[in-house]
Amino acid sequence: MFSGKLLLIHLISFWLSIASLVAAFGDSKPGCQAKCGNVSIPYPFGITVGGDDDNRGAGGCSIQGVGYGYNVNCNTSYDPPKAFIGTGNLEILSISGTEIRIKSLVATLCYDMSGDLVPDGQNHQIVTSNLKPTPFTFSNTKNRLFTIGCNSAGALLGWDQLGKNYSSQCISMCSSKEDVREGSCNGNGCCQNTIPKGIKNFSVGLVWIANTTILSFNPCSYTFLADREQYTFYASDLQADSKVREIPQVLDWAIGSRTCTRKTAKVASIQSPVLLIAVKYLKFLKYMTIELMV
């Protein structure tokens, strides 16, 4: 009886603290480090050395008991220091009342005119990202899968909390610079597609069928998941020094939304041989991969 009451009191104070948290979002707890470099770290997030999930919740600075991921690793070996989720390599760019913006990894292929991969360390045909240890998901309302390039196909294979897989694809076709419309991501030089709701981890893969005509104005192709509000396509993005790497990705972090109803997403049928190849690559070609995780 007593312990039941105690539990009830705990539950009430837990919900009260969440309620006050929603009301007063934006500040760090008193006595806690408020910023990491340029990034504000508001409660329920808190900075702990190395991002470790200590059982005090970053010495009382972050929330406890609602899942891993609220501890931030503020790494001061960078100037300005960089903030990472937990002990992983997902870099936080900003935190708002319901969303975290993180640095996106971009699947990239760059060829020289003889058709050889440019050896600059930027080429990654497959990029994977993992939020599974956290209560966060990749936002399906804010993010889009983008593919940039002529005759290029990008595919995202994502998994939800229950390990069920979903896919999203994007094909971009063009044969000359003139096919491309500035500011318009409609399948000519740039393609965008939505992603399913509730994705916890994913692979994004890129397949590109380029020839010398295309390479003369489009030496690099890219595919990535990013904030649709922060990306506008320009023909200059077909270049090697593209700014596409600067577009953040959005995570939903709101507490208490762990179980969300989910419509059964239709897995798009594979309509083109290019995509068939893309899907095969995702499955079988594990070289040149790079991984983000918490």
Ligand X SMILES: *[C@@H]1O[C@H](CO)[C@@H](O)[C@H](O)[C@H]1NC(C)=O
128 near ligand X (CB under 6 A): yes
Q: Which residue has the tokens 């899942």?
A: 67
DSSP strands (E only) in the chain: 35-36, 39-40, 46-47, 71-75, 82-85, 91-95, 99-102, 107-110, 126-130, 137-138, 143-148, 152-160, 165-172, 190-193, 199-208, 220-227, 249-252, 289-293
216 near ligand X (CB under 6 A): no
Residues from 61 through 80 that contact ligand X (CB under 6 A): 73, 75, 77, 80
Find the part of the chain contacting ligand X (CB under 6 A) among 21-29, 56-64, 116-124, 157-165: 157-165
Closer residue to ligand X, CB minimum distance, 20 or 175: 175
Residues from 261 through 290 that contact ligand X (CB under 6 A): 283
Longest Cα pair distance anywhere in the chain, in angstroms? 78
Separation between Cα atoms, residue 220 and residue 216, nearest integer Å: 10
Residues from 3 through 62 that contact ligand X (CB under 6 A): 38, 50
143 near ligand X (CB under 6 A): no
Closer residue to ligand X, CB minimum distance, 10 or 164: 164
Separation between Cα atoms, residue 105 and residue 246, nearest integer Å: 9
Which position among 184, 212, 232, 271 is part of the footprint of ligand X (CB under 6 A)?
A: 212
Closer residue to ligand X, CB minimum distance, 50 or 273: 50
97 near ligand X (CB under 6 A): no
Closer residue to ligand X, CB minimum distance, 17 or 122: 122
Smallest distance, ligand X to C-beta of residue 3, A: 35
257 in the Ramachandran plot: left (φ > 0), alpha (ψ -120 to 50) or beta? Answer: alpha
169 near ligand X (CB under 6 A): no
152 near ligand X (CB under 6 A): no
- ∠ CA 253-257-263 to the nearest 5 degrees? 110
Closer residue to ligand X, CB minimum distance, 18 or 54: 54
How big is the site for ligand X, counted in residues (CB under 6 A)? Answer: 21
- CB-based contacts of 140: which residues, under 8 Å, 6+ apart? 194, 195, 196, 197, 198, 199
165 near ligand X (CB under 6 A): yes
Which position among 20, 194, 211, 216 is part of the footprint of ligand X (CB under 6 A)?
A: 211
Instruction: Convert residues 233-252 into a mask of x (bound to ligand X by CB under 6 A) and - (unbound).
Output: --------------------
Tell me whether strands 199-208 and 91-95 are parallel, antiparallel or unpaired. Answer: unpaired
223 near ligand X (CB under 6 A): no
- CB-based contacts of 61: which residues, under 8 Å, 6+ apart? 28, 29, 31, 32, 33, 43, 46, 47, 48
Tell me whether strands 152-160 and 82-85 are parallel, antiparallel or unpaired. Answer: unpaired
Q: Which residues bind ligand X (CB under 6 A)?
A: 38, 50, 73, 75, 77, 80, 128, 130, 151, 157, 159, 163, 165, 175, 201, 203, 211-214, 283
